[in-house]
Structure 1
């Protein structure tokens, strides 16, 4: 074994992160070659010059230890802190409800599993997922078509479709959203013709609608078109095409929902206010509770039987009614702060696949967040849209844990990718 190989074996054995090892090897090789050329000009032979250049670097064990400290992966504590605060807020409704509506132990177990999902996603090398884009797409389409659209393996509660599973209850079509996120992050990071991107985008919308999953159809539509728009940014013709298809998809979605109870609420809310009276009970109850909310309050036990889904879709009403409008503003600051942090992290990433993962994740988080807030303020019609991380539930919050894990995976590897891009 050559002296150079021995040096690198000892040096790289001190560095834990695989990507960092390759980066250190490139940096040290460049430094050795530079020193070697200077020594060759002084009359040394090639072997003597190389060995002396390597010795000038010092003890490989000490150097490797220092390089390991320097090349530690980036761990974003700010994003995790915001996630942790949001999760702590989600436990407040357990104290505020008069009866024990919510199984606390189940929620605790779900939170611990969610934390595990975050750390598993963070340590996963997200780049390995890029090659499986079409497989993820096929899996998402398969679930939507054979499970939710067919109705064979599902049941309905209050107009919502759920999968029959022996382990988890209440698994709706939102489980396909992170799968389609992975699919479109891969697809849009490659060079696909616009007609193919459009076709791949529109098919899931049709399947969501056939499964009566209109909320998930809305979230998916915004996510997929934002990802496609980002992939074709700078191309005016493509941007106009995608804008036209997006508009057509929204119109088609509205037509699809028109004959359902949700459609009648939409018509009543935006067009025919007299028709809206039949659906005015929940908005009236929300308005009463928010009008009674103090500027700043303290948690107390009350009966909220007048408003269904108070622990899920309308949990922000509960928190505002008890903790006050200042707390409402603080909660929104935390939730939108998490969204802003992810967008900031996206701005630091130069890898196309990583960018698309973060953009899609931001849409899956930001769309229901914004709709839920505007809904309880009376600016949008009532629908089954949850408040991310705070609404009671397991599967949806696991989805967000997976998204945060992916974002952290992209961000912690950004420095290695940026150096690789520069070296190329």
Structure 2
């Protein structure tokens, strides 16, 4: 306790202020800030020749009514809901649902059960979003290491024993539900990385083990599944977190080297596949390059306002998954596609804003990796559908059928809402950890 706070008048004033602020974890910071102001005023009054006791009482009086101060501080430090992020998410989900219903009416091959399952996953996703919104995100940090380990084990199991409908796949069956662990693993792995021991605190041998465990092992597992794009996303997320937590550029370069070598080796084994994708990208009109060519034809015939709801898919493959954007543009037009593109950019900017307004480094790391994940998964399919980027197997979140992954994506948004909710509830000390040593 500071000496000034031992004064009864000052202590009573601070108690009355803090009584109005329900966020108890902010009380200490509020007391410290108000004490600083009182001490400054006492010092000025004493320099004017007033005795100390009078100066203290006068300084407290000049601060104003403690009840009013406490109420204003309560407003400043109460939980907040990011309505902008929530509205954009709702628009994404509505667009995705409308697109799926349009496919259902357009193509008799699809049954109503697809719509029902989409709505079921939507309902479960809403529950997870609400749950994570009210959950204090900081409580997840202590589970980062076991979560990372568990996801790695599940990835190994899926690669060795995974199957779906008696076919060898990367799926793990959980009752009647099949979960593709390769696509499912990305968000949990990167969120776990965000809460694990930062690179600036690694010892020499600890650094070697962490590079192999956190950096190389997931790259190997994604490589075995032949998922180039998920390998890219994971490595970029890993490098961003390493950059943010490294104590020097030299350490970052040493940590990044081995995972990047692993990616290079993996790509060297995929030369034929990469060349095929490049030829398709460069010459989509060729007959053998039907995938991107059909997308381009559909978009060209869409016009500004599209062909209308429930139109038959014009040979666009995977309209419920990778190519949901070309189909939506075909049905609703170029103007609609521009609006969706702008909404996606605003969504990512909103995530960036969340990462900048918070004091807690853990919150910043979570927001950073989710910007990477959602940025790739939203922008790449959109630009791929427009013929700007090469074809990859990557479903856009919220818009596509998704299934179980939709639940995970909505839980991730709930986590972002939890972070924003507490942006004024986390004391400054949390965001002011000891500075990193620079080599």
For the superposition of Structure 1 and Structure 2, which TM-score range results when normalised by the shorter chain? 0.7 to 0.9
- The answer to whether the 8 Å contact 1:96/1:299 transfers is no
Deviation at 1:79, TM superposition (A): 1.9
Q: 1:178 aligns with which of 181, 187, 193?
A: 187
Q: How far apart, in 2, do the equivalents of 1:127 and 1:166 lie?
A: 31
Name the structure 2 match of 1:64.
Answer: 70
- The answer to whether the 8 Å contact 1:266/1:381 transfers is no
Alignment of 1:9-408 (within 5 A): 11-34=17-40, 42-43=50-51, 60-97=66-103, 98=106, 99=108, 101=111, 103-145=114-156, 147-151=157-161, 153-155=162-164, 160-166=169-175, 168-187=177-196, 189-191=198-200, 192=202, 195-199=208-212, 200-232=214-246, 235=249, 237-241=250-254, 244-245=257-258, 247-256=260-269, 258=270, 264-270=272-278, 280-297=289-306, 299-304=308-313, 306-408=315-417
- The answer to whether the 8 Å contact 1:188/1:228 transfers is no
Deviation at 1:317, TM superposition (A): 1.2
CA distances 1:125-163 after superposition (whole Å, capped 9, x unpaired): 333333443223212222222x21221x54379875211
Deviation at 1:319, TM superposition (A): 0.6
Q: How far apart, in 2, do the equivalents of 1:335 and 1:34 lie?
A: 49
Q: What is the DSSP-based 3-state SS (H/G/I as helix, E as strand, rest coil) of the residue aligned with 1:387? A: coil
Between 1:49-58 and 1:194-203, the stretch displaced more is: 49-58
Aligned length: 413
Q: Is the alpha carbon distance of 1:23 and 1:109 closer, same or farther for their aligned partners in structure 2, counting shifts above 3 Å?
A: farther
Give TM-score scaled by structure 1 length.
0.81
Q: CA RMSD in A?
A: 3.7
Give TM-score scaled by structure 2 length.
0.79
- The answer to whether the 8 Å contact 1:265/1:381 transfers is no
- Structure 2: runs of 5+ lacking an equivalent: 1-7, 435-439
Q: Is the alpha carbon distance of 1:282 and 1:123 closer, same or farther for their aligned partners in structure 2, counting shifts above 3 Å?
A: same
Q: Is the alpha carbon distance of 1:268 and 1:423 closer, same or farther for their aligned partners in structure 2, counting shifts above 3 Å?
A: closer
- The answer to whether the 8 Å contact 2:280/2:289 transfers is no
